[in-house]
Amino acid sequence: ETRISVNPASVSSVAAGLAQQLLGDLTDRQVALIGAGEMGAVAVRALIQRGVSEVTVVNRTYERAQILADAWGGKAATFQHLPRILVNSDVIIVATGAPHIILTQEMVEQAMNERPQRPLFLIDIAVPRDIDPDVRRIPNVFLRDIDDLQSQVDDNVRERASEIPLVEQIVVEEVTQAVEWLMSLDVVSTITDLRGQIEELRQMELDRLFNKLDLDERERELIATMSHRLVNKILHKPTLQLKHEAVHGNGAEYASKVRRLFDLEPTRKPATLPAKPALTPQEPQTNPERIRQCQNLEF
């Protein structure tokens, strides 16, 4: 009913979405993760959710790379394999803790010479940067760094925040319906018992009538149907009124009176329910904390 979950609100999810926009179907795409940090791992998981099946994890130590690769059923490699990985990959996510550039313009140019006309999508989510920003000049190379991604995240978070009033209204409406249903339980057993008693009397009178009159099957059905409709019409408004009083907190009192009037067996005392929420929520105030919470939502 709302668009609060339409746009991703994390850097990693935005990166995966951009890769899909650029490359289309990711099912057969080759993805490499350089670095074994959490942000890179989250980005890879987001790509896998979009259909990626081939993942290579590259790290300075093979053992660390192997741990992550095993988690995704992928391959492990070290930095000495970077030239070949640049040639073979469609998407490369770089997220190391290195204080210097990992992928230089020269490295990327050499790789692109071996893969003409094949686009390469580079995602740099490291701070400081792991990829030379000049690689943007290379044909068919598409670089998105943390600033690009964060800008998109901020836009998405603002759009999510704009949906909060509608979400709150929906929550209030649903909670109100739930509370009304719970409060109506005060009178459900009374309504059931009352209808059961009336139905029993109806059947008794029908049996008495049918025993006195010589009626065929169709005539019996017509009389039974008429009596059933009559009972429903008589009980309709009292049933609605009982439910109405229950919603307004008077269900137990009215149910007790009905039981006394119709000599129904007493029912156990219903549990006390929470106060009914207001039908209209207060105007929400969008604030930094609200936006932060919205940004942390993952869908």
pLDDT tens digit at each of 299 positions of the chain: 655 554 555 667 777 777 787 788 888 888 898 987 777 778 778 888 888 888 899 998 899 889 888 888 889 999 999 999 999 999 898 988 888 999 999 999 999 999 988 999 998 888 888 999 999 999 999 998 877 777 666 666 666 666 677 778 878 888 877 877 776 776 888 999 999 999 999 999 999 999 999 999 999 999 999 999 999 999 999 999 988 888 888 888 888 899 999 998 876 554 444 454 444 444 444 455 544 544 444 43
Spatial distance between the Cα atoms of 207 and 68, rounded to a whole number of angstroms = 78
Assess whether 60 and 25 both reside in one domain. yes
The DSSP 8-state label assigned to residue 131 in this structure reads B
> Is 122 part of a structural domain of the chain?
yes
Contact 59, 33 (CB under 8 A): no
Distance CA 64, CA 40 (A): 14
Does residue 64 sit within a domain?
yes
**Sequence letter at residue 209:** L
- 185 & 227 share domain: yes
Same domain? 55 vs 93 = yes
Which structural domain, as residue segments, surrounds residue 253? 168-261
Q: Specify whether 103 is located in the same domain as 38.
A: yes
CATH number of the domain that 116 lies in?
3.40.50.720
Q: Are 116 and 153 in contact (CB under 8 A)?
A: no
Q: Is residue 188 part of a domain?
A: yes
Residues 67 and 157 in one domain: yes
Measure the CA angle with vertex 87, ends 86 and 92; round to 5°.
35
Asked whether residue 115 falls in the same domain as residue 46, the answer is: yes
> Do residue 97 and residue 176 come from a single domain?
no
Is the full-model pTM beyond 0.75? no
